[in-house]
Amino acid sequence: MKSMIGIDKCIYMEHITFSNGDKVCPIGQGTWNMGRNPLCEKSEANALLTGIDLGMNMIDTAEMYGNEKFIGKVIKSCRDKVFLVSKVHPDNADYQGTIKACEESLRRLGTDAIDLYLLHWRSKYPISETVEAMCRLQRDGKIRLWGVSNLDVDDMELIDDIPNGCSCDANQVLYNLQERGVEYDLIPYAQQRDIPVIAYSPVGEGKLLRHLVLRTIAEKHNATPAQIALSWIIRNPGVMAIPKAGSAEHVKENFGSVSITLDAEDMELLDISFPAPQHKIQLAGW
Ligand code: NAP
């Protein structure tokens, strides 16, 4: 068990705890679009290593991102400090395909085991078949935990009903101030079952950061819009965020969000500009 490894510098905040006792910092690191442009690789590697050093130990990749080799190379010297997430592409998510995809990811990542392996989005294969493969991979020690991404509550219920299915340990979904639909049912569903929720695109791919209300609240806290957007996400128990940042400066800034507490006035202002859902909204994203 890796338990607290890698997050020693993250001690003053609430961690996200998985069912095997592994703990991660509520701000992790996304990697979509990283490792594509050789001219950016040095800065991207430096960004990821800066984050790991700060204790932002979750690194999120996927077979679809085409960057697992790059990620494997970056984390080679500090693998023990990283909680590594990868994902199986839905087209590969039948029983044999999931096992093969995972083995190929392990080879590209240069590691013996993936800490959390996700089904990237709902596939054409029965979910029970993917779950069976996930359980097999877990028994064989190739993955430590498994979970899903972009699955709404109805699919989560299907997984819950699988007889002898080992437990689903995470759901990675689109969640930010402009995409609050998951607050209505998915986050409460996950919280009741202690399933961590991982918010992707937490700063709206950067576009959210120009919003006036975020800039106003940021000024009040002597912070930045990104820090406000991220602290707003991680205020929810059991919910974490994985911003992608291509520079060490952005990574450090994002880490700063863990020490910001939004007050009632901030929350009210944010609720006016970005209203909470009043009814079920179909999960956005993939
Ligand atoms: P995001 O993290 O919301 O936004 C990334 C963009 O925001 C980048 O352009 C980045 O610029 C900028 N940014 C980050 N921190 C900043 C800061 N402090 N100040 C100003 N700009 C900042 O969007 P995302 O990449 O879509 O989502 C994050 C991660 O979630 C992905 O990388 C991926 O790992 C995962 N994801 C998963 C799914 C899924 O289906 N499961 C889908 C989408 C994403 P720089 O690069 O210049 O820092």
Instruction: Provide the residue ranges of all domains of the chain, joining segments of one domain with +.
Output: 2-273
CATH class of 2-273: alpha beta
Active-site position among 12, 65, 125, 189: 65
Q: Is 253 in the pocket of ligand 1 (CB under 6 A)?
A: yes
Find the 203 Cα to ligand 1 centroid distance in Å: 7
* CA 208 to ligand 1: nearest atom: 3
Find the 166 Cα to ligand 1 centroid distance in Å: 31
Spell out the per-residue pLDDT of the chain, length 286, in tens: 455 445 555 554 679 999 999 999 999 999 999 999 999 999 999 999 999 999 999 999 999 999 999 999 999 999 999 999 999 999 999 999 999 999 999 999 999 999 999 999 999 999 999 999 999 999 999 999 999 999 999 999 999 999 877 899 999 999 999 999 999 999 999 999 999 999 999 999 999 999 999 999 999 999 999 999 999 999 999 999 999 999 999 999 999 999 999 999 999 999 999 999 999 999 987 7
Helix 41-54 and helix 248-255: axis angle, to 10°? 30
Find the 177 Cα to ligand 1 centroid distance in Å: 14
Q: Which of 31, 56, 70, 200 to probe ligand 1 with, by most ligand atoms within 8 A of CB?
A: 200
Q: Which of 86, 149, 201, 227 to probe ligand 1 with, by most ligand atoms within 8 A of CB?
A: 201
Find the 3 Cα to ligand 1 centroid distance in Å: 26
The candidate with the shortest Cα–Cα distance to 176, out of 261, 272, 242, 249, is 242
95 is catalytic: no
Give the CB-side neighbour count of residue 254, counting CA atoms within 13 A.
34
Provide the token pair at 99.
């096992």
Global pTM exceeds 0.85: yes
The C-alpha atoms of residue 233 and residue 239 are separated, in whole angstroms, by 7
The per-residue pLDDT for 285 is 78
